[in-house]
């Protein structure tokens, strides 16, 4: 299992969401407080751990 990268504060995702801080971290997920840049609204960003780096392998597990 590959470890997922931690998103740093001020990271911008998809030119829409700004990461504010890491809120909690579990075995398979990290949850961040964020902000929607265009709407200036609070959001929660959930990052899933990459269990299967190969997309075909991931599809076979579903």
**pLDDT tens digits, residue range 3-33?**
568 899 999 999 999 999 999 998 888 999 9
Domain range for 21 is 12-61
Whether 58 contacts 50, CB under 8 Å: no
Q: At residue 51, does pLDDT exceed 80?
A: no
Confidence (pLDDT) at 4: 65
CA-only gyration radius of the chain, Å: 13
Q: At residue 2, does pLDDT exceed 60?
A: no
How many domains is the chain built from?
1
Domain assignment of residue 45, yes or no: yes
Domain assignment of residue 51, yes or no: yes
Confidence (pLDDT) at 55: 67
Domain assignment of residue 17, yes or no: yes
């Amino acid at each position: 299992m590959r470890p997922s990268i931690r998103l740093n504060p001020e990271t911008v995702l998809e030119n829409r969401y700004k990461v504010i801080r890491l809120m909690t971290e579990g075995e398979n997920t990290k949850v961040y407080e964020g902000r929607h840049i265009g709407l200036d609204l609070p959001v929660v960003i959930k990052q899933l751990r990459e269990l299967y780096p190969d997309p075909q392998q991931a599809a076979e597990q579903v």
